[in-house]
Amino acid sequence: MKSVTSKIKLFRPVLTLRCSYSSTDQTLLLNEFTRLCYQRDLPKAMKAMDSLQSHGLWADSATYSELIKCCLSHRAVHEGNLICRHLYFNGHQPMMFLVNVLINMYVKFNLLYDVHQLFDQMPQRNVISWTTMISAYSKCKLHQKALELLVLMLRDGVRPNVYTYSSVLRACNGLSDVRMLHCGIIKEGLESDVYVRSALIDVFAKLGEPGDALSVFDEMVTGDAIVWNSIIGGFAQNSRSDVALELFKRMKRAGFIAEQATLTSVLRACTGLALLELGMQAHVHIVKYDQDLILNNALVDMYCKCGSLDDARRVFNQMKERDVITWSTMISGLAQNGYSQEALKLFECMKSSATKPNYITIVGVLFACSHAGLLEDGWYYFRSMKKLYGINPGREHYGCMIDLLGKAGKLDDAVKLLNEMECEPDAVTWRTLLGACRVQGNMVLAEYAAKKVIALDPEDAGTYTVLSNIYANSQKWNSVEKIRTRMRDRGIKKEPGCSWIEVNKQIHAFIIGDESHPQIVEVRKKLNQLIHRLIGIGYVPETNFVLQDLEGEQMEDSLRHHSEKLALAFGLMTLPSEKVIRIRKNLRICGDCHVFCKLASKLENRSIVIRDPIRYHHFQDGKCSCGDYW
């Protein structure tokens, strides 16, 4: 290995302003400075730089570049500023290369003002100067600025290269931007670059176009682990966990080793599908990265979303380092699983730690209040969030409060709060109010809220269903029929109820009206037997299924065979008696299934966990963790 000093070149002084020093002395000063820079001795190099400046001397650009690298590795912002001042001392203009290095230093120090000052002052700029700027804006998520710079760069006659494209792709806000850049990339023959490819895959996936991402991926001849991570992560983020897990298998077959980023996406995929067994298997492979913060955060989330709170708590407690995401994940996880009081206690612990809560943390806290009907706590946290944490209430915070107030029977207060919102209420906000109207049976307000939702999100089948159920509850059959006609006319179809259960690391799906499961006959038989046994201990099947139809289970199908009941029967048939039965649903659980599961947990002496899109129900010994409040 070459020693650092071997890099040191002897050179003549670049510029001499004062001639009181002999040429030999100047050379000695410069050589000493160069030696210290290459040895990365920052304090001594800074002193030597002072001497240079007092004698009007400048070293060569490569030496300063070394010194700046040293500042970067020590995050020495003050020293970086001194170097910059020295380089521009007395109107001296550093070489373009060196200005690029300086700009990059300020980017890494996150000092955008200085970045711009230097960039604006440059007499000439090359592709690297422009790309450094574009990358800086992309990283700060100032996407529009980054795209504007690309346009200015093109106007300046500078052609983008692979570095520019891989930076600017991250700044694309819409598909049209990506497609335009993609054309440029193909035209310039740059699509084979692995950085450009992974950036393209990533941006297509993040914009919800996994098909395009896969096309770019499949065209690849040679790739690396990061391209695999981009495509796996892309599918995991787009609720296509099944594809993500399939790609992960392909990645392993192709001989690539899964590292932190891969495993984090794999965990996210398991989280999306609530695949506890597979997630636990991934956990075993993660042990060697047990200090990795992001992976641990993903693990806590996976266990929470799979309803395995003991495991989530264990990982959380063993973590040596926790950040705001760790705390927020655990707080929301506890709240979603029905442990609201514990979630609020954890928030108090967080406050005594060094980590500051953020917007999402407070969403979790208010979520905990809303799911347990903790009205006073909710108001306290909502009213104090700005004063205590400097966080302005956003849609999600208002949404939790509207849900809390509405379900507590204070619909007037909920409407008042909705009207006071600083941001415009969206379809989700109005849907929250509609949900509260359903619980309270307030038809007039429900009609108003539904109208608002439909205006903002006309394709949402759930809204029509909730409204139709509210009418049915009041025996307004004409109105029910009108809704059905309206849906038919608009071609809106309700999403069929679907439940998934993992058995031997395989996912089994049960969909209303779908007979394709190979064991469906046995499953139905088992379910009917269970229904009869439950009737024996007091279960009264709801016959008026229209009244029970909550957000979309098909009215035409009998409640008897709602998808979660089929999945439960299958779980009882196939899983060992000590195993928890974990079911994931696409729609919210209905009242009849809720009673059914409570009784089944008692009769069969089993723990049953059902995860719906909003929250999880832990059934045990005839009770549910939600306290029948959902």
Partner DNA sequence: TTAGGGTTAG
Contact positions with DNA (CB under 7 A) in 393-452: 394, 396
| d(C-alpha 48, C-alpha 545), whole Å | 85
| 67 scored as a contact of DNA (CB under 7 A) | no
Which stretch of DSSP H or E encloses residue 439? helix 427-440
The Cα 356–Cα 381 span in angstroms is 15
Interaction between residue 346 and DNA (CB under 7 A): no
For the chain, how big is the Rg over CA atoms in Å? 31
Residue 34 touches DNA, criterion: CB under 7 A: no
Number of residues that bind DNA (CB under 7 A): 74
Phi-psi domain of 274 (left: phi exceeds 0; alpha: psi -120 through 50; beta: other): left
Sign, CA torsion 509/511/517/523: positive
Helix (H, G, I), strand (E, B) or coil at 422: coil
**With binding defined as CB under 7 A, does residue 325 bind DNA?**
yes
Q: Least separation, in Å, of the C-beta of 401 and DNA?
A: 14
* Cβ-based nearer residue to DNA, 365 or 599: 365
Token pair for 353: 């730690």
297 binds DNA (CB under 7 A): yes
Cβ distance 185 to 214 under 8 Å? Answer: no
CA 309 to chain centre: 21
Query: 3-class SS at 507?
Result: strand
Residue 367 binds to DNA (criterion: CB under 7 A): yes
CB closer to DNA, 164 vs 432: 164
Query: Is 361 in contact with 328 (CB distance < 8 Å)?
Result: yes
**Letter for the amino acid at 391?**
I
Q: Which stretch binds DNA (CB under 7 A): 253-261, 525-533, 567-575, 580-588?
A: 253-261
Regarding 209 and contact with DNA (CB under 7 A), the answer is no
Q: How far is the CB of 78 from DNA (least distance, A)?
A: 21
Nearer residue to DNA within complex by CB, 138 or 554? 138
Stretch that binds DNA, among 354-362, 417-425, 456-464, 551-559 (CB under 7 A): 354-362
Q: In angstroms, what is the minimal distance from the CB of 420 to DNA?
A: 19
- Does the protein bind DNA through residue 340 (CB under 7 A)? no
Shortest Cβ distance from residue 314 to DNA (Å)? 17
Q: Which of 82, 294, 443, 511 binds DNA (CB under 7 A)?
A: 294
- Dist. CA 107–CA 18, nearest whole Å: 34
DSSP assignment of 30-77 equals: HHHHHHHHHTT-HHHHHHHHHHHHHTT----HHHHHHHHHHHHHHT-H
> Interaction with DNA in 73-112: which residues (CB under 7 A)?
95-97, 100-101, 104
Cα–Cα distance, 319 to 520 (Å, whole number): 44
Distance of closest approach, residue 397 Cβ to DNA, in angstroms: 8
Q: Does 239 bind DNA (CB under 7 A)?
A: no
Joined tokens for residue 172: 């694309």
Identity of the residue, 425 or 571, whose beta carbon is nearer to DNA in the bound complex:
425
Give the nearer residue to DNA in terms of CB position, either 301 or 502. 301
297 vs 554, beta carbon nearer DNA: 297
CB atoms within 10 A of CB 505: 11
Strand partners, 584: 500, 611
User: Hey, which residues between 535 and 594 contact DNA (CB under 7 A)?
Assistant: none
Report in angstroms how near the CB of residue 515 gets to DNA at its nearest: 34
Window of 242-250, 263-271, 373-381, 500-508 that interacts with DNA by CB under 7 A: 263-271
For residues 264 and 282, give the distance between their C-alpha atoms in angstroms, rounded to a whole number: 9
DSSP state of 585: E
Q: Which of 239, 358, 519, 586 binds DNA (CB under 7 A)?
A: 358
Q: Which of 26, 34, 65, 463 binds DNA (CB under 7 A)?
A: 65
Rounded to a whole number of angstroms, the minimum distance from the CB of residue 294 to DNA is 4
Which of 8, 122, 142, 324 is close enough to bind DNA by CB under 7 A? Answer: 324
Nearest residue (CB) to DNA, 170 versus 182? 170
Asked if residue 611 lies in contact with residue 274, where contact means CB atoms within 8 angstroms, the answer is yes
Residues in region 118-147 near DNA by CB under 7 A = 126-128, 131-132, 135, 138-139
Give the separation between CA 554 and CA 556, rounded to whole angstroms.
5
- In the set 230, 337, 429, 468, which binds DNA (CB under 7 A)? 230
Contact call for residue 166 and DNA (CB under 7 A): yes
Q: Does 369 bind DNA (CB under 7 A)?
A: no
Between 101 and 214, name the residue whose CB sits nearer to DNA: 101
**Beta strands 498-503; 608-611: pairing state:** unpaired
**Contact status: 115 vs DNA (CB under 7 A):** no
Q: Is 481 a residue that touches DNA (CB under 7 A)?
A: no
164 binds DNA (CB under 7 A): yes
CB-side neighbour CA atoms (13 Å) of 259: 9
The amino acid at 494: K
CA distance 552 to 563: 12
For residue 198, state whether it binds DNA (rule: CB under 7 A): yes
468 lines the binding site for DNA (CB under 7 A): no
DSSP state of 1: -
* Contact pick of 77, 82, 175, 194 for DNA (by CB under 7 A): 194
